[in-house]
Amino acid sequence: MLSFNSFLDSFWKKKWLPYAVLTLIVFAVYARTIGFNFTYLDDNTLILNNYRFISEPVRILKTFGRDVFHGSGSDAFYYRPFLTIYFMIGAFIGGQSPVGYHFLNILVHLATVFLLFIFLQKLQFNRIVSFFVSLIFAVHPVLTQAVAWIPGSNDSLVAMFVLASFIFFIDYLGSGKWKYLFWNFIFWLSALFTKETAVFAPILFIIYALLQKRKFTTSDKNADLSRLLFAIIGWLSVFIFWFLLRDQALGGRLLGMPVISAFSSIFNNLPSVFLYIGKALFPVNLSVFPFLLDQTFVYGYCATVFIILALYLSYFGRENNISAISSDANRRKINWKNIIFGTTWFLVFLIPSFLRPNLQVAPDLLEHRIYLPIIGFFIVILEIDWAHVGRRLSHFIKISSQKINYALLFLLVAVLAITTFFYSQNFRDKISFWTDAVKNSPHAPLAHRNLGAMYWLDGEADMAKPEYEKALELNPNEQMAHNNLGLIYAQKGDYQSAINEYQAELKTNPYYDNALYNEGLAYWNMGKKDEAAKNWEETINVNPDYLDAYKALIAYYQEKGDSKTAGIYYSKLQEMSQ
Are 365 and 292 spatial neighbours (Cβ–Cβ below 8 Å)? yes
Q: DSSP state, 481?
A: H
Residues paired with residue 291 on neighbouring β-strands, in sequence order: 364
Question: What three-state secondary structure class fits 528?
Answer: coil
| Phi then psi dihedrals of residue 397, to 5 deg | -125, 155
- Cα–Cα distance for residue pair 387/406, rounded to 1 Å: 9
Query: In this predicted model, what pLDDT tens digit does every residue of 331-367 receive, in sequence order?
Result: 447 788 999 999 999 999 999 888 766 555 567 789 9
Would the CA dihedral through 110, 299, 276, 286 be positive or negative?
positive
Q: What pLDDT is attached to residue 370? A: 96
Q: What pLDDT is attached to residue 327? A: 40
Query: In this predicted model, what pLDDT tens digit does every residue of 419-428 receive, in sequence order?
Result: 999 999 999 9
User: What rounded mean pLDDT belongs to the chain?
Assistant: 87
Supply the pTM of this predicted model: 0.89
- Cα–Cα distance for residue pair 154/468, rounded to 1 Å: 30
Q: What pLDDT is attached to residue 76? A: 53
Stretch 494-523: mean pLDDT, rounded?
Answer: 95
Rama region for 70: left / alpha / beta (φ>0; ψ in -120 to 50; rest): left
- Cα–Cα distance for residue pair 202/233, rounded to 1 Å: 11
Calculate ∠ Cα 412-413-419, nearest 5°.
90
* pLDDT over threshold 90, residue 136: yes
Residues paired with residue 364 on neighbouring β-strands, in sequence order: 291
Q: What pLDDT is attached to residue 52? A: 87
Are 360 and 283 spatial neighbours (Cβ–Cβ below 8 Å)? no
Q: What pLDDT is attached to residue 212? A: 80
Are 279 and 285 spatial neighbours (Cβ–Cβ below 8 Å)? yes
Q: What pLDDT is attached to residue 319? A: 44
Query: In this predicted model, what pLDDT tens digit does every residue of 392-411 receive, in sequence order?
Result: 555 556 566 677 778 888 99
The CATH homologous superfamily for domain 430-577 is Tetratricopeptide repeat domain (1.25.40.10)
Q: Pick from 380, 364, 370, 365: which is nearest to 350 by CA? A: 370
Question: What three-state secondary structure class fits 325?
Answer: helix
pLDDT band of 389, cuts 50, 70, 90: low
Question: What three-state secondary structure class fits 398?
Answer: coil
- Cα–Cα distance for residue pair 497/489, rounded to 1 Å: 6
Beta carbons within 8 Å of 31's beta carbon, 6+ residues apart: 106
Stretch 153-179: mean pLDDT, rounded?
Answer: 95
Query: In this predicted model, what pLDDT tens digit does every residue of 295-344 receive, in sequence order?
Result: 899 999 999 999 998 888 877 654 444 443 444 434 447 788 999 999 99
- Cα–Cα distance for residue pair 360/413, rounded to 1 Å: 40
Helices and strands, counts by H and E, the chain: 29, 0
Are 290 and 364 spatial neighbours (Cβ–Cβ below 8 Å)? yes
**H helical segments located in 509-562:** 513-525, 529-542, 547-560
| Phi then psi dihedrals of residue 291, to 5 deg | -115, 130
Q: DSSP state, 63?
A: G
Asked which of 10-24, 137-151, 324-338, 474-488 is least confident by mean pLDDT, the reply is: 324-338
Residue 424 CA from chain centroid, whole number: 15
Are 321 and 383 spatial neighbours (Cβ–Cβ below 8 Å)? yes
Are 117 and 130 spatial neighbours (Cβ–Cβ below 8 Å)? yes
Q: What pLDDT is attached to residue 269? A: 82
Are 375 and 167 spatial neighbours (Cβ–Cβ below 8 Å)? no
Cβ-based neighbour number of residue 563 at 10 Å: 11
Q: DSSP state, 123?
A: T
Cβ-based neighbour number of residue 573 at 10 Å: 16
Q: Pick from 412, 408, 438: which is nearest to 291 by CA? A: 438
Are 153 and 105 spatial neighbours (Cβ–Cβ below 8 Å)? yes
Q: What pLDDT is attached to residue 384? A: 87
- Cα–Cα distance for residue pair 267/191, rounded to 1 Å: 25
